[in-house]
Homo-oligomer: A and B are copies of this chain.
Amino acid sequence: MENTRILLEQNEIPTHWYNIVADLKTPPAPPLGPDGQPATPEQMGVIFPGAILEQEMSDQRWIPIPQEVREIYRLWRPAPLVRAVRLEQALGTTAKIYYKYEGVSPAGSHKPNSAVPQAFYNKQAGIKRLTTETGAGQWGSSISFAGQMFGLPVRVYMVKVSYDQKPYRRLMMQTWGAEVFASPSELTQTGRAALAENPDNQGSLGLAISEAVEEAASRPDTNYTLGSVLNHVLLHQTIVGLEAKKQFDKIGEYPDVVIGPCGGGSSFGGIAFPFLADKAAGDKRAENLRCLAVEPTSCPTLTKGAYAYDFGDASGFTPLMKMYTLGHDFMPPGIHAGGLRYHGASPLVSQVVHEGLVEPVAVSQLATFEAGVQFARAEGIIPAPESCHAIRAAIDEALKAKVTGEPKVILFNLTGHGHFDMSSYERFFSGKLEDYDYPAEAVARSLEHLPKVG
């Protein structure tokens, strides 16, 4: 029987994360403070510990993973690299399709890869509590889990509509000991103001971010955590691609195409950056490597946005970041891949797209669920809606290879399972989901509100 799951032992968990900053053609544009000047470490130190700030600004290629973090990683890592033989057969393709399965983590996605080190560094810095926001609930549950691992209490501001509609995600966080509040809440000035204006406010991710940041900024013993976009988050996620490379080495293969879903950018960067490292190092195998960052047509940041300085949040609280953006007041429609509904994209992913190292791809909602169902029926695992974007692109690449007869090797990041997203599948099966291409005119309008810089 042919081996279709490539496993690593726990002592093969990588000892270092890979920092792509060391290999970029030009240094990343710095985040800018309210005065238009580069944000200082002091400004950001209010909500992040020193070790995280150092990583955020580092240009070192390899950054050691603390032993304490590896000891938590081993609860589920190394994650398997799996050859999707039954999917290949269903497609009749000449391609080999591999997926890196991150749904094996306790929280069910790749998010704990960064939640664990974030909790660790904060604990180490003497911080007594973490705050964060969560929409769909993936990040909130991951930081709740990670906080529990280091005995660090966690407060999650959960967008009210999700709080009410996704009680199971909330319960998951509570099982790991976190306090979960519907946002807007009475706990912060931002929340109280929003409720005073409208007691029925259903919340938004922007508002929840503001509440979590406000609490962290106002208490010296409390820090804020973020699950995507920032450099240190993408750094932590490179564990995904680094493990995949070791696994490919074991079987003497190398991918021709590497695919990740792309919202804030951490799942794409996590799988793709370590392969881009090979390209930067002149590795022959990576010479013709293609990397696809897959986003929804309803939130087409990389394919239709501008590459410009913009706020990371809706209300203009964060520093300005140079990135692909649809404008910080862009309101994405209520599509069912909550994790991909972000107006911007990680500055690092934006830069490699801008430099032409990565191809952005936009896929429509129905086609992603069709791909997800096809995958579940072939391979068993029911994927998260975010992951379905990568599956769609992987299937499309495999079908192209079928036409040309090429023996392509395709790798994608199966970022999580869909156990807490079955209501999205329900909407798909019952015909309630629709395709939605965000219109170019609307993008143009929200881009008019980009902040003026310099």
Where the two chains meet, the residues of A that have a C-beta atom closer than 8 Å to any C-beta of B are 1, 3-5, 7, 9-11, 13, 67, 70-71, 74-76, 86, 104-106, 108, 145, 148-149, 167-168, 171-172, 174-177, 373, 376-377, 379-382, 419-420, 422-423, 425-426, 429
Residues of B within 8 A of A429 (CB): 171, 174-175
A107's nearest neighbour on chain B, judged by CB, is: B380
Q: Give the distance in Å from the alpha carbon of A86 to the alpha carbon of B381 in the complex.
A: 28
List 20 other contacts, CB 8 Å, given A174-B425, A175-B382, A175-B422. A1-B10, A1-B70, A1-B71, A3-B9, A4-B74, A7-B7, A7-B9, A75-B379, A75-B380, A105-B380, A108-B419, A148-B377, A149-B380, A168-B422, A174-B429, A175-B376, A175-B425, A176-B376, A177-B377, A419-B420
Q: Give the distance in Å from the alpha carbon of A176 to the alpha carbon of B9 in the complex.
A: 32
Q: Give the distance in Å from the alpha carbon of A67 to the alpha carbon of B381 in the complex.
A: 21
- CB pairs A–B below 8 angstroms (6 shown): A1-B70, A5-B74, A7-B9, A75-B379, A167-B422, A167-B426
Q: Is the interface of A mostly helix, strand, loop or mixed?
A: helix
Q: Are A380 and B70 in contact (CB under 8 A)?
A: no
Task: Say how far A102's CB is from chain B's closest CB, in angstroms.
Answer: 13
Task: Out of B11, B177, B422, name the residue touching A171 (CB < 8 Å).
Answer: B422
Task: Out of B4, B106, B174, B377, name the residue touching A176 (CB < 8 Å).
Answer: B377
Q: Are A426 and B11 in contact (CB under 8 A)?
A: no
Task: Out of B1, B176, B423, name the residue touching A74 (CB < 8 Å).
Answer: B1
A372's nearest neighbour on chain B, judged by CB, is: B175
Task: Say how far A350's CB is from chain B's closest CB, in angstroms.
Answer: 33
Q: Are A76 and B380 in contact (CB under 8 A)?
A: yes
A376's nearest neighbour on chain B, judged by CB, is: B175
Task: Out of B5, B104, B171, B422, name the residue touching A172 (CB < 8 Å).
Answer: B422
Residues of B within 8 A of A108 (CB): 419
Task: Say how far A11's CB is from chain B's closest CB, in angstroms.
Answer: 6
Residues of B within 8 A of A174 (CB): 425, 429
Q: Give the distance in Å from the alpha carbon of A380 to the alpha carbon of B67 in the complex.
A: 18
Residues of B within 8 A of A380 (CB): 75-76, 105-106, 145, 149
Residues of B within 8 A of A382 (CB): 106, 172, 175
Task: Out of B67, B105, B171, B423, name the residue touching A168 (CB < 8 Å).
Answer: B423
Q: Are B7 and A67 in contact (CB under 8 A)?
A: no
Nearest first, the 5 closest Cβ-Cβ pairs linking A and B are A106-B380, A168-B422, A419-B419, A171-B422, A75-B380
Q: Give the distance in Å from the alpha carbon of A381 to the alpha carbon of B442 in the complex.
A: 44
Q: Give the distance in Å from the alpha carbon of A425 to the alpha carbon of B425 in the complex.
A: 24
Residues of B within 8 A of A149 (CB): 380
Q: Give the distance in Å from the alpha carbon of A82 to the alpha carbon of B420 in the complex.
A: 25
Task: Say how far A67's CB is from chain B's closest CB, in angstroms.
Answer: 7
A106's nearest neighbour on chain B, judged by CB, is: B380
Q: Are A426 and B3 in contact (CB under 8 A)?
A: no
Q: Give the distance in Å from the alpha carbon of A420 to the alpha carbon of B172 in the complex.
A: 11
Q: Give the distance in Å from the alpha carbon of A167 to the alpha carbon of B420 in the complex.
A: 12
Residues of B within 8 A of A377 (CB): 148, 175-177
Residues of B within 8 A of A86 (CB): 75
Q: Give the distance in Å from the alpha carbon of A10 to the alpha carbon of B81 in the complex.
A: 13
Residues of B within 8 A of A373 (CB): 175
Task: Say how far A134's CB is from chain B's closest CB, in angstroms.
Answer: 16
Residues of B within 8 A of A423 (CB): 167-168, 171
Residues of B within 8 A of A168 (CB): 419, 422-423
Q: Give the distance in Å from the alpha carbon of A409 to the alpha carbon of B258 in the complex.
A: 43
A382's nearest neighbour on chain B, judged by CB, is: B175
Q: Give the distance in Å from the alpha carbon of A305 to the alpha carbon of B282 in the complex.
A: 72
Q: Give the distance in Å from the alpha carbon of A148 to the alpha carbon of B378 in the complex.
A: 8
Task: Out of B3, B67, B175, B379, name the residue touching A1 (CB < 8 Å).
Answer: B67
Residues of B within 8 A of A3 (CB): 9-11
Q: Give the distance in Å from the alpha carbon of A366 to the alpha carbon of B108 in the complex.
A: 26
A146's nearest neighbour on chain B, judged by CB, is: B380
Q: Give the distance in Å from the alpha carbon of A3 to the alpha carbon of B75 in the complex.
A: 10
Residues of B within 8 A of A145 (CB): 380
Q: Are B75 and A171 in contact (CB under 8 A)?
A: no
Residues of B within 8 A of A75 (CB): 86, 379-380
